[in-house]
Amino acid sequence: MLSCEAVVAETCFLLKRSGFDPSLALQFIERGVVQLPFVLQEQIGSVSSLFKRYENVPASLADTALIRLAEMNDSPLLLTTDSDFHIYRRHGRQTIPLVSP
């Protein structure tokens, strides 16, 4: 699975807020189940553009980073509990294939 540090930070926050150990999310990275190839500094222009495009939603850094990560991959499949991903599009018009509850 591919992700980004913004998603990890958000996941840790949500785990802690729900009474769980936030380090549980880090174990997936340590075991190699989740990889973090996204480098914000290299994608800052694209992420900034996505913030502007979705300012009415409003999109978080984790959201925009995942949209950009989906754009960077030919056949993405996004696992999310965020209903805003039904609104977001990659490359402007393409829906992002989702797995969500």
What confidence tens digit (pLDDT) does each residue in 11-48 have? 999 999 999 999 999 999 999 999 999 999 999 999 99
Q: With H, G, I as helix, E, B as strand and everything else as coil, classify residue 47.
A: helix
Tokens at residue 64, please? Answer: 């925009």
Q: pLDDT, tens digit, for every residue of 56-83?
A: 998 999 999 999 999 999 999 999 999 9
Crossing angle (nearest 10°) for helices 5-17 and 61-72: 140
Helix (H) or strand (E) run with residue 78 in it: strand 78-79
pTM above 0.85? yes
Euclidean distance between CA atoms 48 and 3, whole angstroms: 18
Using alpha carbons, select from 76, 80, 75, 77 the residue that is nearest to residue 100. Answer: 80
Count of domains forming the chain: 1
100: left (phi over 0), alpha (psi -120 to 50) or beta: beta
Range of the domain at 90: 5-99
